[in-house]
Chain A
Amino acid sequence: MGDIVVFGGSSHPELVNMICENLGVPSSRVDLSKFSNGETNVQIGESVREKDVYLIQSGCGHVNDNFMELLIMISACKSASASRITAVMPYFCYSRQPDIPFTSKGAPLITKANKNSNIEGDILSPAPSALMTQRPGSMSPFKVADEEVRTSTNQTLKKSVSASRIPIVSSKKDPKGTEANEAFNAQNAGYKLWVAQSGTLIANLLTAAGADHVITMDLHDPQFPGFFNIPVDNLYCRPLVQNYIQHHIPDYKDAVIVSPDAGGAKRATAIADSLELSFALIHKERRSQLLKGPPDATLTSGGGLNVSTTPLISNLNSTEITNSPSKYIQTTMLVGDVRNKVCIIVDDLVDTSYTVTRAAKLLKDQGASKVYAIVTHGIFSGDALARIAQSEIDQFVISNTVPQDETISALGKDKVGIMDVSRVIGEAIRRIHNGESISMLFEHGW
């Protein structure tokens, strides 16, 4: 490992040390500080002339500061004649935009209830009446939903709904500029606005600063590398997830892999297939009208997949979103059989944790015996950790692409499992430095 130099940013020093240990190379000295006016100051402490430079910075903590720090480090190495600069970003910031706007508390803006309601209570424990399971001969869930909406609009307003990627701005009362806000809402409610797409921008900024190569892990969008004009190696956490399931989950052979939304179905099926497990899917749906009739064939599923033949549909939290111009109904349904089974929710990212906690609740209500959640990137913003602590999740497994000390202290050691990504990233750096193939890491992990 001759001319390799590894620098760590200030976001995740622990991971940097672990990666360096795996590489057998000490991390090089870099002084990171801030000027008194808030500008970032970087001083590279070792010569990098004609060296192969790796800069490790995760997109967590104070994202913008850390990202600027990375850009300045890249630029400093470039102007100090480094032969190649590789940005290693275990969690890639700004990789999932545009998304639902959030409030400062971490709730999707769209769900913001009126001020008097106890938001937290609603989120942490959805009203039991809102949760319905269709049993043979019972009333159609949609009919119930319809009635519920009609009779108690006030209550449904309070319930949390998560919408898809349409940034409708809610009627939340902003202390500053309320009027302007409302005018803005009235003008734009329901439209896809002129929203910034930061993906290309972030890619171009990295290239402009002088990065020659990017290593990252489990990108939210598989299209993301296409924004770059330089090679992007997207490592997968999947081998680690499989490894964890096989070694740490008792009786995993009877478990069901669950994807908490339709977007993650591919990720979950890949794991289910390679472990020869069955698979279930939770689907969030927004319908433009209230459905009156019984659920038709499109709402049932099970054919083709390795699940039981009895159709099992459940309907959770049918809620009307009243602040949008047309009426939407939100349904969450489980496709697949989880009764008396161990469920493993697999996702790439947990932020507000609404998706995963709601999924766990639904699974437990459907008779799942135990619920695990395995997620690659744990950002845990707002009161996400408190929500998870109170949720039905029995064990939360997370990788260390982002520092997880807080998670462990909030949930307790028994409830958290950590997957170590430093070996995969370290091995990728070694292989890239030596010009070897890294595709083996995609399948087998390390």
Chain B
Amino acid sequence: MPNNSIKLLAPDVHRGLAELVSKRLGTHLTSSKLERDPTGEVTFSIGESVRGQDIFIITQIGAGDVNDRVLELLIMINASKTASAKRITAVIPNFPYARQDRKDKSRAPITAKLMADMLTTAGCDHVITMELHASQIQGFFDVPLDNLYAEPSVVRYIRENVNFNDAIIISPDAGGAKRAATLADRLDLNFALIHKERARANEVSRMVLVGDVRDKVCIIVDDMADTCGTLAKAADVLLENKARSVIAIVTHGILSGNAIKNINNSKLDRVVCTNTVPFESKMKLCPKLDVIDISGVLAESIRRLHNGESISYLFKHYPL
């Protein structure tokens, strides 16, 4: 066996993305076994030697049992570390606790920083994420973190699946304006913004549209869709302003709580998410959902990382 080859590990649930990546890399997932004992504690064992190998642990963290997935990931990293792996890279497309990245109230925890510390403590040497909620989270880590962008995949999806000649890119809030603007530039489209006016905290906010959407196909772009309440409201506002139709493209479709109900009841034509989050089961409940496969980007970044090549090409281009 050649030394220092790529070994892909994945937990026993949500292996879909890991399998897609392994297929693209022309390799297979390393056999491993994750056992939960009746108390809920996790035991992990790797089925073959990983001494001196380059380990990539691919995990999809969605809504629900986030903490279980996190602990499993940490235990997998630690098991690889103690088995003398040469380098361990955690591939976490949807970084958990990314939204708790600041002390916004007194004595609030900065859980994203805690996650970073925990990953490094477990023995992680490198982290690959996708579309971090705040790119400053990279600074929380003592190890290199490669933050990939879904934008090339989104551009490709829009070119292939949306009649984009009379489309317009919409940012659902001021924070996402930059993301929407760069996407609009890439596609040479116009751009509009929905501004949430919040008179007072905990009050129903009023949404104001900035820009002209008359007779246009509106593409709402955001990095994360959780309960989808904002998306549904944004669609209402756009249609009130005489938009022809509205679709939403989000990177991380967490779709928790009433998300499916909200989407089904909303005026959105389609909600497109990447497969950073496992939501195959939800696609059956909601015909409006569509998926963008980002396994190509992950596979290519893993290959480039392993060979010591530059990754920045992937920020702008979709790999072949």
Within 8 A of A (CB), among B43-95: 43-50, 62-68, 70-71, 74-76, 78-79, 82-83
Cβ of A382 within 8 Å of any chain B Cβ, yes or no, is yes
CA distance A106 to B39 in the complex (A): 9
Which of A36, A73, A351 meets B39, CB within 8 Å?
A: A351
A426 to chain B minimum Cβ distance, whole angstroms, is 25
Within 8 A of A (CB), among B99-132: 100, 103, 105-111, 113-114, 117-118, 120-122
Most buried by A among B39, B71, B111: B39
A204 x B122 contact (CB < 8 A): yes
CA distance A80 to B65 in the complex (A): 27
Q: Mark A169-202, 1 if CB is under 8 A from B, else 0.
A: 1000000000010011001100001111110110
Contact A201 B41, CB 8 Å, known A43-B105, A79-B103, A208-B118: no
**Which of these binds chain A: B30-38, B166-174, B296-304, B312-320?**
B30-38
A38 to chain B minimum Cβ distance, whole angstroms, is 4
Which of B43, B68, B111, B121 meets A101, CB within 8 Å?
A: B43
B39 x A80 contact (CB < 8 A): no
Contact A93 B75, CB 8 Å, known A36-B257, A196-B82, A204-B121: no
**Which of these binds chain B: A59-67, A117-125, A142-150, A230-238?**
A59-67
CA distance A180 to B109 in the complex (A): 41
Contact A183 B31, CB 8 Å, known A60-B39, A351-B39: yes
A379 x B83 contact (CB < 8 A): no
B51 to chain A minimum Cβ distance, whole angstroms, is 9
Cβ of A104 within 8 Å of any chain B Cβ, yes or no, is yes
Cβ of A90 within 8 Å of any chain B Cβ, yes or no, is no
Number of B residues contacting the other chain (C-beta, 8 Å)? 57
Most buried by B among A43, A205, A381: A205
Cβ of B42 within 8 Å of any chain A Cβ, yes or no, is yes
CA distance A180 to B108 in the complex (A): 45
Cβ of A44 within 8 Å of any chain B Cβ, yes or no, is yes
Contact A101 B37, CB 8 Å, known A68-B67, A188-B47, A197-B82: yes
Chain B: CB-nearest residue to A109 = B35
A76 to chain B minimum Cβ distance, whole angstroms, is 4
B35 x A101 contact (CB < 8 A): yes
Chain A: CB-nearest residue to B79 = A196
Contact A37 B66, CB 8 Å, known A63-B39, A75-B110, A381-B39: yes
B41 x A97 contact (CB < 8 A): yes
Contact A195 B40, CB 8 Å, known A75-B113, A204-B122: no
A positions within 8 Å CB-CB of B? 35-40, 42-45, 47-48, 60, 62-65, 67-69, 71-73, 75-77, 79-80, 93-94, 97-99, 101-102, 104-106, 109, 167, 169, 180, 183-184, 187-188, 193-198, 200-201, 204-205, 207-209, 351-352, 379, 381-382
